[in-house]
Each structure stands twice: as structure tokens, then as C-alpha cells.
């Protein structure tokens, strides 16, 4: 893991609304791609279908958000141009979603932490003063609610399952926990958006997220990692400072579009 633990001085933000759309959209594009990597490899057929379904929802949400980002940017880029022709440093997703799938427990723990984050943030954004954003968030929220039911029930099954499943999902939580502070870190962009009622007040949402996560983790007989015991928090994704994993993901996601520009089938 080579991501820096300290944010560089924030670059000038020409367009806060665009930043917010990219952050929300890129979280979903990258996580949707990660989940699609399970297609044909999940432990059981039902789960293969479930992961592909959730991936498709996330890609659909990313499409809405990045299409809107392209409109707001006003440079003629559509959602495909933003997905396939940006470099890793231009992506604004959090580091959590770009982490490799690992085993099924790791994928589900990552998904659960994100799904709870998605419901609390989309719920807030559905009340945004920006009507376009509020409409997209309200639509996505309906999907996030059944995503978290799926990943949350897997946390219970795995945590309260066999010694092996318990060990693996606890290990996944321990490994992933250091990526969660980034989810609620408010840089200048996020702070301005929250003050204007456009974006979520991220630091204020953290307690609710923690409460929802803790409830499930406890029922799953798992233990939340101690705040004092984890390695330094990792962040930087919102400013384009990513782990090395994102470059590999993008290489695979972008190669066809870049090898055959404008191809149709």
C-alpha cells in the first residue's frame, strides 16, 4: 500500500458541484467494476447473479452521475468519455472501493462498509438543494437499501457461521477499517458543498454510519477494530491520490475503449 497518509494542499476547485458528481460517480463506477470481476467466479450461482445485479445497479448509478458531471463540466464529455478516457489521478473515488476483491468475505465486508455509507450519504443528498442531484440520489437510495440488506445478511452469515468464515470476515474488517475515515473526511470542497446544502455533511453522518455498522457487526459476533489499534488512516482518493490497485483496474476497464475509439457493436 503506497497511498499517502496526508492530503496534499488542496488544488483550486473550479467547480464544486462537478467534484461532488465525480466523487459519487467514481465510487460507483470503480466498485461496480470490482464486483463485475466476480462474474462467473462466485461461490454459488445465486451469489454470482446477486453480485452481477449489484454491479449493474452501481454502474447504472455511475452512468447517471457521470452523465450529469459531463453536462455540468460543459466540455462535451459524456459518461463514457469520463469513464474511459480519464487517468487514475483524475478519478475521485475513495480508496475503499478500489481495493482488490480478495476472498468472498473480503468482498462482502468491503461491500457492507460501502453500502451503509451509501445509504446514509444518498439519504442526505436526496434532500440536496440541487434538484438534479437530489433526484439521482433518491433513485439510487432505493437500490442501496436492498444492497445493504444483501451485504448485511452476509456479514451475519459469515461472522456467525463457521470458525473459518468468522476468521476470514474478521480479518477483512481489520484490514479494511483504515479506509473508512476517508469516507467522512471533509476537505474544502466537501465543506463548501455541505454549507450550501448541495452535498452531504460528511463528518456529521459518521456517527449514524458507525451505529448502523456496529449493530450488524455485533450481531454477527464480530468485533469492530479499535480506533487506536489500526494503522494510520489512508486517504487521498478524493484528490486523485490512489493506491496502485486503481491503475490496474483502469487498465482492464479502459483498454477496449482506448484500443478501438468510437467502436460500436
- Interface residues with another protein (CB under 8 A) are 46, 49-50, 53-61, 63-64, 116, 119-120, 123, 131, 134-136, 138-140, 142-143, 145-146, 148-150, 152-153, 156, 212, 216, 219
Nearer to another protein, 196 or 211 (CB): 211
Other CB atoms within a 10 A radius of the CB of residue 12 amount to 5
Nearer to another protein, 153 or 174 (CB): 153
What values do phi and psi take at 244, rounded to 5?
A: -65, -15
Nearer to another protein, 61 or 99 (CB): 61
Nearer to another protein, 46 or 163 (CB): 46
- The answer to whether residues 246 and 91 touch, using CB atoms and an 8 Å cutoff, is yes
Shortest spacing between CB 117 and another protein, in angstroms: 11
- Spell out the alpha helix ranges (H) of 74-130: 79-84, 95-98, 104-125
Nearer to another protein, 119 or 246 (CB): 119
Burial label, 246 (beta-carbon count in 10 A; 0-12, 13-18, 19+):
buried
Shortest spacing between CB 42 and another protein, in angstroms: 11
Shortest spacing between CB 258 and another protein, in angstroms: 23
| C-alpha separations of 40 from 36, 49, 50, 54, 209 in Å | 9, 9, 11, 14, 32
Shortest spacing between CB 16 and another protein, in angstroms: 21
Shortest spacing between CB 44 and another protein, in angstroms: 9
Shortest spacing between CB 193 and another protein, in angstroms: 20
67: Cα separation from own chain's centroid = 18
Nearer to another protein, 57 or 182 (CB): 57
DSSP per position, 196-208 = TTSS--HHHHHHH
| C-alpha separations of 248 from 20, 30, 56, 251, 260 in Å | 24, 11, 21, 5, 19
Amino acid at each position: 500500500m503506497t497511498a499517502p497518509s496526508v492530503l496534499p494542499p488542496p488544488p483550486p476547485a473550479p467547480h464544486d458541484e462537478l467534484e461532488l458528481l465525480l466523487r459519487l460517480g467514481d465510487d460507483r463506477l470503480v466498485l461496480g467494476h470490482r464486483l463485475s470481476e466476480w462474474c462467473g467466479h462466485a461461490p454459488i450461482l445465486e451469489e454470482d447473479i446477486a453480485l452481477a445485479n449489484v454491479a449493474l445497479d452501481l454502474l447504472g448509478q455511475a452512468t447517471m452521475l457521470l452523465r450529469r458531471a459531463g453536462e455540468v463540466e460543459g466540455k462535451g464529455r459524456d459518461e463514457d468519455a469520463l469513464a474511459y478516457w480519464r487517468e487514475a489521478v483524475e478519478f475521485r473515488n475513495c480508496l475503499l472501493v478500489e481495493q482488490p476483491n480478495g476472498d468472498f468475505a473480503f468482498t462482502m465486508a468491503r461491500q457492507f462498509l460501502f453500502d451503509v455509507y451509501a445509504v446514509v450519504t444518498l439519504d442526505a443528498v436526496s434532500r440536496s438543494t440541487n434538484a438534479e442531484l437530489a433526484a439521482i440520489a433518491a433513485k439510487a437510495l432505493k437500490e442501496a437499501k436492498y444492497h445493504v440488506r444483501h451485504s448485511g445478511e452476509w456479514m451475519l452469515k459469515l461472522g456467525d457461521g463457521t470458525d473459518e468464515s468468522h476468521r476470514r470476515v474478521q480479518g477483512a474488517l481489520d484490514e479494511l477499517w483504515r479506509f473508512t475515515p476517508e469516507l467522512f473526511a471533509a476537505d474544502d470542497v466537501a465543506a463548501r458543498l455541505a454549507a450550501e446544502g448541495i452535498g452531504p455533511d460528511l463528518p456529521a453522518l459518521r456517527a449514524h454510519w458507525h451505529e448502523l455498522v456496529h449493530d450488524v457487526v455485533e450481531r454477527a459476533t464480530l468485533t469492530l477494530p479499535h480506533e487506536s489499534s489500526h494503522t494510520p488512516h489512508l486517504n487521498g482518493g478524493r484528490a486523485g491520490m490512489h493506491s496502485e490497485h486503481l491503475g490496474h483496474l483502469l487498465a482492464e476497464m479502459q483498454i477496449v475503449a482506448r484500443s478501438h475509439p468510437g467502436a460500436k457493436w
